[in-house]
Structure 1
């Protein structure tokens, strides 16, 4: 059994707002197109740095130039990480919260190094997506996806050593980009939860394949 699979939720209880460190619940009042006053319940992150437009980044890390497999197609770097809110191990891309004064690209390279040990390079001309809102009907959390290549032929990527925090338990693995949709289906059948960023990226690749868009 993998390390991340040994985690489990052991208790659930209400959280007093004064004890919340990461999020808060708010009640919004707004008017609709008919001028009717309505209300909405929303969650807000407490971690977004002042002046930052985003909470964090997700990282599409493409592994290429592997000396052990010189003719292999590019692979995408994925992670297995237990997520208490759903009490499951989730298949994710590397990701993390942005620091004050940090650019999205710098955040991505830092988080990639800390979570996986790999050194990457932001793709020129296609490095950063528009701001994406994770679940705008529920919360204000947003990210930018950063596209990064990892050159497996470089010495610094031969024996990657993650710099995980004491509370982080992350397992990394790779799959061929062209097989990502099928692999997501297989992993779900095995009991893993699929993060929306992984699922959406996989779906995009599959759509491009089936409708011969490229």
Structure 2
């Protein structure tokens, strides 16, 4: 498991205090109470969190980047690029894919390539022959928030000189540790990280679980294709 370390480790962070936040002081999210009519005609209420950073007239909040490192000189096969990042709501370090908010006027693919370069230093391309290279809009937790994401599949060519010694362009408040795991052993590696106390991001866990399902049902799926 390769790892790129920085001066500060995400494991050194911790939550110091949690307190209610007055609604008029929020910069990123707001809480709404929804009044709606259920299928029987009864009026009900629902509470939700709304992200306040979505670009004007846009439909997409953020992108997640499934970055595959392909090294033709390596016999280990392709690997998946992941990150360790402290997340205050969990008071834990999470295992995530590179991700970030979409800028005004930016399409999902451009956003994914930019975020990957900023957070990891790697230069990538979106494979033209990959059917699901740009996913559809997915909603992270629709019972709680309207936040959504597109997962973008990109390939990092390790033969490219720009990817030999990648240097991230992190913001002052970002402390991200980048590492890789073998793509064909993803589930087992995540199990180890889970046992070590890391929180597994749903997008990462679902990807790994989907790969295991595909392995089990590979023959049956091939017959239906």
2:58 is the counterpart of 1:52: yes
Give the secondary-structure state (helix, strand or coil) at the position aligned to 2:146.
coil
Partner of 1:5: 11
Partner of 1:111: 115
> How do 1:92-171 and structure 2 match up within 5 A?
92-124=96-128, 125-171=131-177
Q: TM-score, normalised by structure 1?
A: 0.96
For 1:189 and 1:130, locate their aligned partners in 2 and report how far apart those are by CA, in whole Å. Answer: 32
Please state how far the C-alpha of 1:72 moved relative to its aligned partner: 2.1
For 1:20 and 1:85, locate their aligned partners in 2 and report how far apart those are by CA, in whole Å. Answer: 15
Partner of 1:210: 216
Give the secondary-structure state (helix, strand or coil) at the position aligned to 2:44.
strand
Higher relative contact order (CA 8 A, sep 6+): 2
Partner of 1:90: 94
Please state how far the C-alpha of 1:210 moved relative to its aligned partner: 1.8
Please state how far the C-alpha of 1:55 moved relative to its aligned partner: 0.4
Please state how far the C-alpha of 1:186 moved relative to its aligned partner: 0.7
Q: TM-score, normalised by structure 2?
A: 0.92
Structure 2: 5+ residue stretches without partners: none
Q: Say what the alpha-carbon RMSD is for the aligned residues.
A: 1.3
Please state how far the C-alpha of 1:148 moved relative to its aligned partner: 0.2
Please state how far the C-alpha of 1:66 moved relative to its aligned partner: 4.9
Residue-pair matches, total: 212
Partner of 1:27: 33
Give the secondary-structure state (helix, strand or coil) at the position aligned to 1:122.
coil
For 1:184 and 1:36, locate their aligned partners in 2 and report how far apart those are by CA, in whole Å. Answer: 44
For 2:55 and 2:23, locate their aligned partners in 1 and report how far apart those are by CA, in whole Å. Answer: 20
For 1:205 and 1:151, locate their aligned partners in 2 and report how far apart those are by CA, in whole Å. Answer: 22
Partner of 1:76: 80
For 1:66 and 1:9, locate their aligned partners in 2 and report how far apart those are by CA, in whole Å. Answer: 43
For 2:97 and 2:132, locate their aligned partners in 1 and report how far apart those are by CA, in whole Å. Answer: 18
